[in-house]
Amino acid sequence: MTKYFHYLLGTALLLLSGCQSIEQLSIDYMLPAEVSFPTTLKRVAVVNNMPNVPDNKLIAGEEEKNKSAHEMTRLTNYYNGNAAITTEALAEALAAENYFEEVVICDSALRSRDITPRESTLTQEEASELVQDLNVDFLIALENVQMRSIRKISYMPAWGVFHGTVDVKVYPTVKIYLPNRKGPMTTINTNDSIFWEEIENKEALVRTRLIGEEEMLKQASGFAGTVPVKHLLPYWKSSNRYLFSGGSVNMRDGAVYAKEENWTEAIKLWQQTYQTKKGKTKMYAAYNTALGYEMQDSINTALEWAVKVQNIAREISKIDLNDKENTKSVQGGNLSYYIFISQYVEELQKREEGMARLNMQMSRFDE
């Protein structure tokens, strides 16, 4: 839903800008993880704390009767994932980030005597013994991995073809254990989806070529191991930004400097426009200035300018924040400059809040 919301905001901006020229830019920036690891934790072991029950992967399945008009079949199944594959994928994904000095894997089931899948917290004695045996500082344990698959075959009359899809949602759970500590440090419950599709002119071909259950479980189990990583380690996020390049000579020349990544000169021109113009041109110049500072990772200054843009946008959009009905109408979906800029301000605020945590999490690379 977030993706489409940003798309609508961008579309609205294009419509509202009139003759103003707009260019789309992409920005990549790093966000902090949910967990902060002290720099003393340099070596980690990824362990499989799920029972070894290869014959009990399918939990339940049902043929759904409430299908859409063109759906021929819809089957929903629930599975236990392959814990060994997920554990190995988690260890590989952590090692690939080069965040810890060493990542050790212990993918054999610690709960091999269990006959049914269950989450079973490691005791303090078990965690300490594993840390000592594996010569690491702490443990990341896979506690559970479950899946829900929706397998559908639909007929698409407009094209005269059959469309088969398999959409699997994975639910991995990991816990972090420190030696000599009673109970886990924290529990990370995550989820994400992986998708396959086939299009053929015959239903039988779709059924034959659509990914089978065994391969689906294998690939989905591997994918599940990568899902917790962005909750455990700092990660990169890509976002779209919009650069206003028309309306005046300074705006145009500033956009040229921006393409050359000469943000210092570009900002000088945009600030001159901000000081000398009014209305929308003043707002565009302020927005570009905020963007220029963000591109240089000066988030505090970028936020200051974004708030200036927000105030101008509120005036242009004629929004009275004291009028609850007016504000409610705008927040309910009225596409305006104010909503677009407010979304940008909110994103910058989140970046600002995360900077301190991110610097602390990345400090291990400076040692």
Distant-in-sequence, close-in-space partners of 238: CB < 8 Å, separation ≥ 6: 26, 27, 28
Chain centroid to CA 307: how far?
Answer: 26
What does the pLDDT read at residue 110? 66
- Return the residue matching tokens 């899948």: 117
pLDDT over 60 at 54, yes or no? no
pLDDT over 80 at 309, yes or no? yes
pLDDT over 60 at 125, yes or no? yes
Containing 311, the helix (H) or strand (E) segment is helix 299-316
> Facing residues of 189 across strands?
173
pLDDT over 50 at 243, yes or no? yes
- Predicted confidence (pLDDT) per residue in 325-365, tens digit: 554 444 443 346 788 888 899 999 988 887 777 776 666 55
Q: Which has more pLDDT, 366 or 43? A: 43
- Mean of per-residue pLDDT scores for the chain: 83
What does the pLDDT read at residue 236? 85
Beta carbons of 131 and 179 less than 8 angstroms apart:
yes
What does the pLDDT read at residue 2? 40
Compute the distance between CA of residue 45 and CA of residue 88 in angstroms, rounded to an integer: 11
Q: 24-38, 52-66, 294-308 — which is least confidently predicted? A: 52-66
What does the pLDDT read at residue 109? 62
pLDDT over 50 at 4, yes or no? no
- 3-state DSSP call for residue 256? helix
- 3-state DSSP call for residue 175? strand
- Predicted confidence (pLDDT) per residue in 195-236, tens digit: 999 999 999 999 999 999 999 999 999 999 999 998 998 888
3-state secondary structure 5-58: HHHHHHHHHHHHCCCCCEEEEEEEEEECCCCCCCCCCCEEEEEECCCCCCCCCE
What does the pLDDT read at residue 13? 52
**DSSP secondary structure code for residue 69 in this structure:** T
Question: What's this model's pTM, rounded to 2 decimal places?
Answer: 0.69
CA proximity to 145, closest of 227, 214, 77: 227
Q: 7-11, 184-188, 290-294 — which is least confidently predicted? A: 7-11
- In 245-331 the beta strands, taken as DSSP E runs, fall at none
* Helix segments in 53-168, DSSP class H: 83-96, 124-134
Region 249-278: mean pLDDT is 95
CA proximity to 340, closest of 266, 244, 259: 244
